[in-house]
Amino acid sequence: MALERGAQPFARSEYEARWTALKATMSQRGLQTVLTTDGSSMTYLSGYIGSSGYLPQMVILDAAWTEPKLVLRKQDVPLGIYTTQISRDNIIGYPETLVGNPERNGHDFVLDMLEDTGAHTGLLGLEEGVLSRAVYRKYESRLGAGTLADISGLILSQRLVKSDAEIALMRDAARIADAGVLAAISATRPGRRECEIGGDVIHALASGLPDIDTITIKVPNISSGPRIGTAHFNWYLGTVENGMQLNFEIVGLCHHYSASIMRTISLGPPSEKLRRLHDGVHEGLEAGLSTVRPGVTCADVANAYHRALNRHGFSKDSRCGYSIGMGLEPSASLQPTDMTVLEPNMTFHMMLGTWVEEDFGVTLSESFRVTETGAEVFGKSERKLFVV
């Protein structure tokens, strides 16, 4: 039987607006066609959410087409039909014989298709920052270097300012993240293993709220004990004990749109040193957030943070945050060198993981959007050092 389209987060009009905006940029840049293999840009342009990104899969938009083509391995076509607004005719499955095939893969299939559709005759935009050298060479050797243009960052730039529909999902994502924070607070007890605490938090992140079904999660980051100065891993071996500190980075997801929140939890009374650093980071967060409004730069927000933190005798040498949407979006950073001017509905994670020594740091953060007059912080979790 034929599968029908399932429930989806956006109406087709949301995607039509994205295609129209992209075509306007293509026209300015003299591009006939653009092709992206970046997972979140594919989701942005089609709604597709499949996880076969280690294999060739892509969204292609030509100036002459009314909608993009979504190219997937054949096995993934039903998911394309179910989860996207792309017409069945424009969801193209390449044969499964091209999977695990050292000679030919999905990109060879796409190159055949581009020739068939005439989409190769003008300038084709590819993301040189995403496509591997090996894949890029397939396009270069078949189409000629002169027909290719680098569009790295082009779709990301378009994603920098969110629609109201995207903002609504990020607010829901923040409610999921807040549920994760509550789970972290009740899970953190002496004698529990980090993996058990991680399990409780992801259970909350997955299980949804009465009015929100999740469709996936982001695994949280938890550091503790001697490794409290480390970042960017989920959790580790061992048991937490009284006197320890745990740093959490929790991401709520709603239809792949994200809101991140970081909090530190102290098991028992915090040390004076921890209290002092947290006070500095907290004041910096307030200073940064109160700087946010249209017309100021990312640098202004970061500088407000650094000034406040420095007044407390600490410093942070890494950026204070980054654009978010479907997770971290490498388009704009809250850092002193980033002159991106804030506009309404830009969204950021003001990420104040402040690791000041190899074995010492705290985490505190908020996700927010730029409003007409300031910042709307998405999360509602108490902004403090939690003590359990």
**Contacting its own copies within 116-135 (CB under 8 A):** 128-135
Choose the stretch contacting its own copies; rule: CB under 8 A; options: 117-125, 155-163, 194-202, 306-314. 194-202
Q: Which position among 17, 113, 165, 206 is part of the footprint of its own copies (CB under 8 A)?
A: 206
Nearest Cα to Cα of residue 71 among 63, 150, 84, 327: 84
Q: Is 290 in the site for its own copies (CB under 8 A)?
A: no
Choose the stretch contacting its own copies; rule: CB under 8 A; options: 59-67, 219-227, 286-294, 373-381. 219-227
Q: Which position among 115, 357, 373, 382 is part of the footprint of its own copies (CB under 8 A)?
A: 357
Choose the stretch contacting its own copies; rule: CB under 8 A; options: 227-235, 262-270, 286-294, 306-314. 227-235
SS3 250: strand
**Residue type for 114, please?**
L
Rounded-to-integer distance, Cα 120 and Cα 106, Å: 16
Q: Which position among 122, 229, 344, 374 is part of the footprint of its own copies (CB under 8 A)?
A: 229
Number of residues that bind its own copies (CB under 8 A): 88
SS3 161: strand
Q: Which residues neighbour 273 within 8 Å (Cβ) at sequence distance 6 or greater?
A: 360
Rounded-to-integer distance, Cα 288 and Cα 183, Å: 27
313-352 footprint of its own copies as x/- string (CB under 8 A)? ----xxx--x-----x-x--x-x-xx--------------
Report the nearest approach of its own copies to the CB of residue 381 (Å).
20
Smaller CB separation from its own copies, 88 or 311:
88
Report the nearest approach of its own copies to the CB of residue 173 (Å).
14
What phi and psi, each to the nearest 5 degrees, are found at residue 265?
Answer: -120, 130
Distance in Å from the first CA to the final CA of the chain: 55
Q: Which position among 14, 108, 200, 279 is part of the footprint of its own copies (CB under 8 A)?
A: 200
Q: Which position among 22, 58, 202, 309 is part of the footprint of its own copies (CB under 8 A)?
A: 202
Q: Which position among 112, 359, 382, 384 is part of the footprint of its own copies (CB under 8 A)?
A: 359
Report the nearest approach of its own copies to the CB of residue 96 (Å).
4
Residue in the block written with tokens 């204070």? 320
What is the token pair recorded at 276? 């002092």
Q: Is 145 in the site for its own copies (CB under 8 A)?
A: no
Measuring CA to CA, how many Å separate 360 from each of 71, 239, 244, 247? 47, 18, 11, 10
Smaller CB separation from its own copies, 20 or 97:
97
Report the nearest approach of its own copies to the CB of residue 311 (Å).
21
Q: Which of residues 49-88 bind its own copies (CB under 8 A)?
A: 49-52, 54, 73-79, 81-83
Please state, as a whole number, how many other Cβ atoms lie within 10 Å of the Cβ of residue 260.
28
Nearest Cα to Cα of residue 125 among 98, 143, 105: 143
Q: Which of residues 159-188 bind its own copies (CB under 8 A)?
A: none
Rounded-to-integer distance, Cα 203 and Cα 217, Å: 9
Report the nearest approach of its own copies to the CB of residue 200 (Å).
7
Q: Is 144 in the site for its own copies (CB under 8 A)?
A: no
Q: Is 233 in the site for its own copies (CB under 8 A)?
A: yes
Measuring CA to CA, how many Å separate 259 from each of 16, 150, 170, 182, 265? 25, 30, 6, 15, 19
Whether the Cβ atoms of residue 182 and residue 209 lie closer than 8 Å to each other: no
Q: Is 15 in the site for its own copies (CB under 8 A)?
A: no
Q: Is 147 in the site for its own copies (CB under 8 A)?
A: no
**Cα dihedral sign for 224, 227, 233, 238?**
negative
Q: Which position among 19, 214, 297, 387 is part of the footprint of its own copies (CB under 8 A)?
A: 214
Rounded-to-integer distance, Cα 200 and Cα 250, Å: 12
